């Protein structure tokens, strides 16, 4: 029997067992893959010492990973997420790299090694963060949008850096390599995107009629562009990523990504297994102090950098805190970057081991931090005032506190509800924790307050005891539970209308005392807007609608239909 096949079978068996442990511990499987590589490496099973086939598989995995990442890197997205993502993304990269470089130098690393390490520390895992935000239903939250925005900015910066580093594999001086990278890279990219702009849309319209053909074309396009850049002495991985970006603006990018995912996941497993097998235990022991220092810097220092930047831009301490946690790890790009440095002769395997262990520690730590972010915030919120401007922003002139209705969260749903307030001629006010929203409301003369509903002190400053109706379009169940608790403690008669992601969350909010819970997948914002307009705040019709809605949700739940998260990718 083929020895390679037996090796692969044993390695995958180990991977399955380790992955099962990771699932129990609620850790990203990437950690399990790297641990599998360590087990399959020279210190334990020694299954990979002479395998070139698995090495080739790992390269294919990286190419497919970068190709699928590229499919989601539509440049138009950068414009949509606003200047905060650009400023935070670039600012975090600059500050982290500078501080990381100084730490590396202080620890005795050479200038070249320090540059690589400092750059590797700047990139956070887009894939892991997207998964965690999606699982929490926070993709469309303010901090979620900003986080995704600056992660995309980081990825674009990573593309440029990887292109420059990969060019040195052609030989020659650094200045010559950079010049050739810019020249050949510019010409190749221009040619690539001319083809993707003029020819691909027409071709894909025909190709997409066959699902098998679309998959075959996608793989062929990825390998072809990757091979072309490899032929030009660039990194083939960069070619694969650019191939994905070229398809990102087409209407088929999501479909291609979903079809490529199983293939990508298999090969990327092999990549991280190979990375784990290359780790040298002695290197880890010798670099234990740097590993600890770099890990602490990423887990604590990176969030602080983001909080400072977002606080300076006028965001609340909670938004800055939650967004900051999303950069508390290093990414696949970091490991790929260092691996590339090893392949071109700039680094040794010792540095790869160091960065990989830092990745293991920070990915594991940040996963718990993001998963339990609201609980962590509640414990430290009183100490985070430094990262928030003290004065609450108001739109227009000084707002008199004579409102009888409050809308928490101005978004698509909030827009419809606000129109109902206007038609009712209600004295209302809008509360939102996005400074850009407040600025836009100011232009239209809409009374608004800048504040965070999750901040108990802010809620205490509102005139809740005389409010007749409160509507929250904020999806976080913990925030809405706090809102119910605060309002009911001083105003038992107020009508409280909230929003929930799932049936379980909606029923939980009903039990907590909500008069009505908006569930967008079943009853949209327009329905609630009409109900608000046609029903008086003290009308018993709210109680009738409440009973009907609870009955409907329980019937749906009894049929085994789960209310899907609203904002999943």
Instruction: Give me the pLDDT at residue 392, please.
Output: 41
Instruction: Give me the pLDDT at residue 569, please.
Output: 35
Please check whether residues 338 and 441 belong to one and the same domain: no
Tokens of 401: 């506190």
Please check whether residues 183 and 300 belong to one and the same domain: yes
Tokens of 217: 């074309």
- pLDDT tier at 187, thresholds 50, 70, 90: confident
Tokens of 421: 């307030």
Lowest-confidence segment of 193-202, 299-308, 322-331 by average pLDDT: 193-202
Residue 333 backbone phi and psi in degrees, to 5: -60, -35
- Tens of pLDDT, residues 97-112: 999 999 999 999 999 9
- pLDDT tier at 174, thresholds 50, 70, 90: very low
Span 290-298, average pLDDT:
93
Q: What is the largest CA-CA distance in the chain?
A: 82
Most confident of 440-454, 497-511, 525-539: 497-511
pTM of the model: 0.64
Residue 496 lies in a domain: yes
Tell me how far apart the alpha carbons of residues 416 and 520 are, in angstroms, rounded to a whole number.
13
* Residue 390: Cβ-neighbour burial (10 angstroms; 0-12, 13-18, 19+): exposed
Strands (E), 367-501: 405-408, 428-432, 448-450, 469-472, 495-499
Instruction: Give me the pLDDT at residue 101, please.
Output: 94
Averaged pLDDT score across all residues of the chain:
77
Span 219-237, average pLDDT:
80
Please check whether residues 368 and 440 belong to one and the same domain: no
Tokens of 420: 């109902």
Output the domain CATH number for residue 512. 3.40.50.720
- Tens of pLDDT, residues 544-554: 667 777 777 77
Output the domain CATH number for residue 269. 1.20.1530.20
Asked whether the predicted pLDDT for residue 401 surpasses 80, the reply is no
Please check whether residues 282 and 177 belong to one and the same domain: yes
448: β partners? 430
Residue 396 lies in a domain: no
Residue 397 lies in a domain: no
Q: Centre a 10 Å sphere on the Cβ of residue 448 and count the other Cβ atoms it contains.
A: 25
Please check whether residues 373 and 414 belong to one and the same domain: no
Asked whether the predicted pLDDT for residue 114 surpasses 80, the reply is yes
Tell me how far apart the alpha carbons of residues 37 and 44 are, in angstroms, rounded to a whole number.
10
- Tens of pLDDT, residues 115-127: 999 999 998 877 6
- Tens of pLDDT, residues 130-158: 767 766 767 667 787 788 778 878 877 87
Please check whether residues 352 and 467 belong to one and the same domain: no
Please check whether residues 336 and 414 belong to one and the same domain: no
499: β partners? 518
With H, G, I as helix, E, B as strand and everything else as coil, classify residue 10.
Answer: helix
Instruction: Give me the pLDDT at residue 139, please.
Output: 65
Please check whether residues 231 and 358 belong to one and the same domain: yes
Helices 349-371 and 332-343: angle between axes, nearest 10 degrees: 180
Asked whether the predicted pLDDT for residue 84 surpasses 50, the reply is yes
Residue that terminates a domain, selected from 348, 381, 414: 381
DSSP type of residue 394: B
Residue 11 lies in a domain: no
Position of tokens 């409907």? 552
- pLDDT tier at 17, thresholds 50, 70, 90: very high
Span 405-423, average pLDDT:
72
Long-range contacts of 421-426 (CB under 8 A, 24+ apart): 421/532, 423/533, 424/532, 424/533, 426/469
Q: Which domain holds residue 359?
A: 26-381
Instruction: Give me the pLDDT at residue 201, please.
Output: 79
Instruction: Give me the pLDDT at residue 107, please.
Output: 92
Most confident of 257-266, 299-308, 423-432: 299-308
Residue 228 backbone phi and psi in degrees, to 5: -65, -45
Residue 551 lies in a domain: yes
Residue 315 lies in a domain: yes
Alpha helix segments (H runs only) across 107-235: 111-120, 126-136, 142-167, 174-198, 200-207, 211-231
Please check whether residues 235 and 358 belong to one and the same domain: yes
- Domain tally for the chain? 2
Instruction: Give me the pLDDT at residue 227, please.
Output: 85
Tell me how far apart the alpha carbons of residues 171 and 181 are, in angstroms, rounded to a whole number.
12
Please check whether residues 147 and 285 belong to one and the same domain: yes
Please check whether residues 357 and 414 belong to one and the same domain: no
Residue 19 lies in a domain: no
- Tens of pLDDT, residues 344-382: 788 888 888 888 888 888 888 888 888 888 888 888 887
Residue 393 lies in a domain: no
With H, G, I as helix, E, B as strand and everything else as coil, classify residue 444.
Answer: coil
Do 498 and 472 meet the contact criterion of CB atoms below 8 Å apart? yes
Please check whether residues 337 and 435 belong to one and the same domain: no
Asked whether the predicted pLDDT for residue 167 surpasses 70, the reply is no
């Amino acid at each position: 029997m083929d020895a390679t096949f037996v090796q692969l079978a044993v390695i995958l068996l180990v991977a399955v067992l380790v992955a099962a442990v990771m699932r129990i511990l609620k850790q990203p499987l990437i950690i399990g893959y790297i641990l599998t590589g360590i087990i399959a490496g020279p210190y334990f099973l020694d299954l990979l010492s002479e395998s070139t086939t698995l090495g080739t598989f790992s390269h294919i995995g990286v190419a497919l990973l970068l190709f699928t990442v590229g499919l989601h890197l539509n440049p138009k997205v950068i414009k949509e997420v606003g200047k905060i993502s650009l400023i935070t993304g670039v600012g975090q990269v600059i500050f982290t790299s500078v501080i990381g470089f100084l730490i590396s130098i202080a620890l005795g690393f050479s200038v070249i090694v320090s540059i690589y390490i400092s750059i590797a520390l700047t990139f956070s895992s887009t894939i892991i963060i997207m998964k965690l935000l999606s699982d929490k239903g926070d993709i469309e939250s303010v901090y979620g949008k900003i986080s995704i925005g600056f992660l995309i900015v980081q990825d674009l910066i990573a593309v440029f850096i990887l292109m420059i580093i990969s060019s040195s594999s052609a030989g020659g001086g650094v200045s010559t390599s950079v010049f050739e990278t810019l020249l050949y890279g510019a010409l190749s990219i221009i040619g690539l995107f001319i083809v993707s702009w003029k020819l691909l849309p027409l071709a894909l319209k025909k190709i997409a009629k066959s699902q098998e053909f679309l998959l075959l074309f996608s793989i062929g396009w990825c390998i072809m562009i990757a091979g072309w850049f490899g032929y030009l002495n660039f990194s083939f991985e960069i070619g694969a990523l650019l191939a994905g970006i070229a398809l990102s603006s087409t209407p088929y990018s999501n479909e291609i990504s979903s079809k490529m995912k199983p293939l990508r996941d298999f090969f990327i497993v092999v990549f991280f297994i190979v990375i784990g097998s290359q780790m040298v235990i002695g290197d880890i022991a010798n670099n234990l102090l740097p590993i600890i220092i770099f890990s602490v810097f990423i887990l604590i220092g990176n969030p602080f950098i983001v909080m400072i930047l977002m606080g300076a831009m006028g965001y609340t301490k909670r938004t800055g805190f939650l967004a900051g946690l999303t950069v508390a790890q290093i990414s696949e790009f970091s490991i790929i970057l260092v691996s590339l440095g090893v392949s071109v002769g700039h680094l040794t395997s010792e540095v790869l081991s160091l960065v990989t262990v830092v990745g293991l520690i920070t990915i594991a730590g940040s996963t718990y931090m993001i998963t339990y972010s609201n609980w962590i915030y509640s414990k430290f919120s009183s100490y985070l005032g430094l990262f928030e401007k003290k004065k609450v922003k108001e739109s227009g002139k000084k707002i008199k506190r004579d409102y009888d209705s409050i809308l928490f969260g101005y978004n698509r749903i909030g827009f419809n509800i606000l129109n109902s307030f206007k038609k009712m001629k209600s004295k209302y006010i809008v509360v939102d924790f996005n400074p850009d929203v407040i600025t836009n409301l100011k232009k239209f003369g809409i009374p608004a307050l800048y504040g965070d509903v999750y901040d108990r002190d802010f809620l205490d400053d509102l005139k809740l005891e005389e409010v007749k109706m409160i509507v929250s379009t904020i999806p976080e169940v913990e925030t809405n539970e706090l809102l119910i608790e605060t309002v009911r403690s001083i105003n038992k008669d107020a009508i409280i209308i909230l929003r929930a992601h799932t049936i379980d969350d909606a029923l939980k909010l009903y039990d907590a005392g909500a008069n009505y819970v908006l569930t967008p997948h079943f009853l949209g914002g327009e329905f609630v807007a009409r109900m608000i307009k046609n029903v008086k705040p003290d009308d018993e019709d709210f109680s009738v609608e409440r009973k009907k809605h609870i009955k409907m949700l329980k019937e749906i739940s009894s049929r085994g239909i789960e209310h899907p998260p609203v904002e999943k990718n």
